[in-house]
Chain A
């Protein structure tokens, strides 16, 4: 008999025990482990998704911030560039103004210098001219000249009239000290007598005269008393000439300053395109200078 019923029963029991053992030791733990792992993986995936979403959000935010930053930077840069441009223009303007002022000042200085030099030259020339004249006349002065001069003085005395004569007369009469008659050279006694005579006759009084020798007079005779004076001397002529020449020069200077002040405004405006700073106002000043001279 192939079937042993005892064995059948035993095997059935064995099988049931095996089922229980397998359930206990194999299926339950393994299936639980698989489930736990699946849950864990699902959780991790969900977490990863969440993190991904968060990362995306953060990236978007960052991108947005970047864009904003870029915009701000561009705006700031533009503002800074504009400000720099304005500053540049301002500085440029200031520099130009300063340069213009400096140039004007320099031009003025140059003009002043030139004017001073001109005046110096004129003065020096004048001085030299008079010195030469003085020297020449002093060299020419001799006895004959003295004689002529005393004659000329006497003529002048006699020619005195009106208020000048009266004033001189009162001065001569009123003076306590002797009236001094100065001459460049020592007058000979004949001429001294002639002069004494002429004075006495002119003023109708006996006036005490003291003769003095003064080389500064160059040539000529001078009578002075209490501020009143009658003279004929080359020095006197020269002084008169010098005085008038000085007045003329003074007028010239005044006339020269006026056109310069007018001309100053023009060169600044004209000079702007020319950055080289060439001394172009010079010809203008040289032009203006001779003008008053030609008038004289």
Chain B
């Protein structure tokens, strides 16, 4: 019984090892990239278009709209990072219906990697948005006393991001694994469906939290705080 796909070693040369997490991630990357390439190869700007293009347009338009609703006025600037976060997490959860597949997001290494990316992206977009001074000043908001708490919050929320996603994904996979040994009929199917739902919810949560963090970092201090999304 593996707790994480990290423990599945495919190939190893000294410190360099190809575990299940990396292999499954590559698989996902391949599917996403090749799928996108195939769909966007014959893009139509007319009113008539292919079903796959229509699907991708719906998904991307929805992501763009969500980013905008969070408060980022130029969604095209952030859709590359935030959209990919959502798509990767969602795709890795969706693929759990494939037998033998283990979601890379069920590995704490992956979730930590994603959380670290967010951890770096927040100040990156923050500084791009309001300059170094402006961004650093936001740590001393509303008073200078809040500086340590803001720094702690920055670190802890990154940790929370990583652990939340890992816990949900790993538990889903674990529950299905345990249930298969106890009641190998019908009930695991229900749990798989439930796992798909939690996977999608987690993808959305991860994406929306990252968006909110970035939005908070890029927002100018003097501007009136915009309303946070309802979700």
Contact = CB atoms under 8 A, between A and B. Distances in A.
B43 A7 contact: no
Nearest 4 Cβ contacts at the A-B interface = A11-B113, A7-B109, A26-B36, A29-B40
Interface in B1-18: 3-4, 6, 15-17
A7 B117 contact: no
A16 B121 CA distance: 11
B108 interface: yes
Contact of B84 (A4, A7, A15, A40): A15
Given A21-B33, A25-B33, A11 B114 contact: yes
A229 to B, nearest CB: 139
Interface string B54-80: 001100110010000000000010011
A18 B33 CA distance: 8
Interface string B26-44: 1001001100110010011
Given A26-B36, A26-B60, 17 more contacts: A2-B166, A7-B21, A7-B107, A14-B22, A18-B29, A19-B84, A21-B29, A25-B36, A25-B37, A26-B83, A27-B83, A30-B60, A31-B79, A33-B43, A33-B53, A34-B57, A37-B47
A240 B61 CA distance: 145
A91 interface: no
B43 A30 contact: yes
A10 interface: yes
B116 interface: yes
Contacts of B49: 33
B15 A19 contact: no
Interface of B: 3-4, 6, 15-17, 19, 21-22, 25-26, 29, 32-33, 36-37, 40, 43-47, 49, 53, 56-57, 60-61, 64, 76, 79-81, 83-84, 87-88, 104, 107-110, 112-114, 116-117, 166
A32 B64 CA distance: 13
Contacts of B108: 2-3
A37 B64 CA distance: 16
B43 A29 contact: yes
Contacts of B29: 14, 17-18, 21
A33 B57 contact: yes
Contacts of A37: 45-47
A3 B7 CA distance: 11
A19 B81 CA distance: 6
Nearest to A37: B45
Q: Name which of B19, B40, B166 has the most chain A CB atoms within 10 A of its CB.
A: B40
A8 interface: yes
Nearest to B43: A33
A25 B109 CA distance: 27
B168 to A, nearest CB: 15
A33 B47 CA distance: 11
Contacts of B166: 2
Given A11-B114, A31-B60, A33-B57, A18 B6 contact: no
Interface string A173-200: 0000000000000000000000000000
A11 to B, nearest CB: 4
Contact of A22 (B32, B53, B76, B107): B32
Contacts of A21: 29, 32-33, 36
Interface in A13-61: 14-19, 21-23, 25-27, 29-34, 36-37, 40-41
Contacts of B57: 30, 33-34
Contact of B22 (A3, A10, A25): A10
A68 interface: no
Contacts of A25: 33, 36-37, 40
B231 to A, nearest CB: 22
Nearest to A16: B117
Nearest to B91: A18
Contact of B36 (A4, A9, A22, A31): A22
Given A11-B114, A26-B36, A30-B60, A6 B88 contact: no
A12 interface: yes
A18 B84 contact: yes
B120 to A, nearest CB: 9
Nearest to B109: A7
B117 to A, nearest CB: 6
A31 B104 CA distance: 28
A22 B33 contact: yes
A26 B40 contact: yes
A26 to B, nearest CB: 4
Q: Name which of B3, B21, B81, B113 has the most chain A CB atoms within 10 A of its CB.
A: B113
B113 A8 contact: yes
Contacts of A4: 6, 19, 107, 109
A12 B113 contact: yes
Given A6-B15, A26-B36, A27-B79, A36 B45 contact: yes
